[in-house]
Homo-oligomer: A and B are copies of this chain.
Amino acid sequence: MSKRRTELLTIAANLFAERGFANVTVNDIGDAAGVSGPALYHHFEGKEALLGEMLIGISEYLLDGGRKVAVIGGDEVLERLVDFHARFAVDDRALITVQFRDLVHATERDQHTVRTLQARYVTLWVDELIGEQPDLDRRTARATVQAIFGLINSTPYSGSLPRQQMLDILTRLALAALRSVPDSPA
Contact = CB atoms under 8 A, between A and B. Distances in A.
A150 B157 contact: yes
B169 A143 contact: yes
A102 to B, nearest CB: 8
B158 A142 contact: yes
A39 interface: no
Most buried by B among A19, A143, A159, A182: A143
Contacts of A179: 176
Interface string A144-180: 1011111111100111010001101110111111011
A180 B101 CA distance: 30
Contacts of A165: 140, 186
A150 B142 CA distance: 16
A105 interface: yes
A20 interface: yes
Contact of A101 (B104, B147, B151, B152): B104
Given A104-B20, A176-B180, A146 B139 contact: no
B151 A22 contact: no
Most buried by B among A22, A142, A154, A174: A154
Most buried by B among A23, A105, A140, A157: A157
A158 B143 contact: yes
Contacts of A172: 180, 182-183
Interface of A: 19-23, 100-101, 104-105, 139-140, 142-144, 146-154, 157-159, 161, 165-166, 168-170, 172-177, 179-180, 182-183, 186
> 5 closest Cβ contacts across the A-B interface?
A150-B154, A176-B180, A22-B22, A20-B104, A151-B151
